[in-house]
Structure formats: C-alpha cells, structure tokens
Amino acid sequence: MDPFFILDTPKSFEAASAALQEAVVDHSFGVLAVHDLGHTLRSKGLPFPEQCRIFEVCNPQQAFPADSNRIQNA
C-alpha cells in the first residue's frame, strides 16, 4: 500500500488542508499530527518555496487490533 496520496484540486492550499482534516474525521480517522514541512525547511534556511504539509492520520478501530496482536506476540 502506497502511504502517499496526491490529488489535484482547485482549492487554495489552506482550504485543501482544512478540507482534508474534516474528511479525515468524517471517515472515522483522527489527525495525530500535521507537519508543516515547508515552514520547517524555510526556518532552517533552506530554499523551499512550495507549501507542503504532512498529515499523520490513524483509524483507532483498525489500529488497536493490529497493535494488540503485535504486543501479545512480542
């Protein structure tokens, strides 16, 4: 399974980011963290003109059984 999902949209970057966060919740996922990669790289003096955010998402109903199985078999 490819961990990356790319979709073109006519929305602004901020509107697309907000819509993604809403869609995640609507599909029983949670947002664990949002990393603003562009901001982080620029703050370190690197030339990164693009806007880029990485969303860490999780579905607890799917993750719990998998994690429980791993813990029991560790």
Q: Say if 5 falls within a structural domain.
A: no
pLDDT in tens, 42-65: 999 999 999 999 999 888 777 666
CATH code at position 62: 3.30.310.70
| pLDDT value at residue 22 | 94
Q: Say if 33 falls within a structural domain.
A: yes
Q: Which of 30, 25, 34 has the alpha carbon at shortest distance from 64?
A: 30
**Which structural domain range is residue 18 located in?**
13-72
pLDDT in tens, 25-35: 998 898 999 99
pTM of the model: 0.70
Which letter does DSSP use for residue 31 in this model?
Answer: E
Burial class (CB in 10 A: 0-12, 13-18, 19+), 26: exposed
Q: How many domains does the chain have?
A: 1
* Per-residue confidence band for 13, with pLDDT thresholds at 50, 70 and 90: very high
